[in-house]
Amino acid sequence: MVIWIIGKSGSGKSFISKFLKKTLKTKKNKLVWIDGDKFRKKFSKDLGFSFSDRKKNSKRIQNHCKKFDKMGYIVICSILSIFKDHQKQNRKIFSKYIQIYIDVNLNILKTRNNKKIYSEKKNIVGEDIKFPVPYKSDLVIKNDFTIKFLKNVKLIKKKIYE
């Protein structure tokens, strides 16, 4: 099973994924969390942040998830995921696929700017590179940072156990 958590930078993907990983641990299933930022630092040092490099990185992450899925892991993947063709493929290549979109207004992200990317960098998804609404998300969470994140994790877990 692959739980693909999508959202713009700073939307809370990693924060929610980290907590989800802690609460989903079971004795039967192996569990792995693949974070897009950490993956890029470890496996995609050769890539920049252009549209084509982002697509290559996304494909690498998808292939990495596929390997873990085939080995029987539950995979939590927190990723920008701006490529609808990859999202469509995910439904075909993974044993079970749940797509969760963390939807945050860009103005809120710019105001929070916790990673300092909305003021200091170029090729920002949501500004310089379009962030399309994800293809057929199984769950959309509107995150305005006022709802306690545990409520969001409960929504995700409910969707996983359906």
Q: Which residues are catalytic?
A: 81
DSSP state of 76: E
Question: Which residues, at least 6 apart from 141, have a Cβ–Cβ distance to it below 8 Å?
Answer: 100, 101, 102, 103, 152, 155, 156
Phi, psi (degrees; rounded to nearest 5) at 73: -80, 150
Tokens of 87: 């999202």
Check: CB of residue 160 under 8 Å from CB of residue 20. Answer: no
Between CA 102 and CA 65 the distance in angstroms is 20
Question: Which residues, at least 6 apart from 80, have a Cβ–Cβ distance to it below 8 Å?
Answer: 6, 7, 8, 9, 36, 54, 58, 125, 131
Check: CB of residue 19 under 8 Å from CB of residue 122. Answer: no
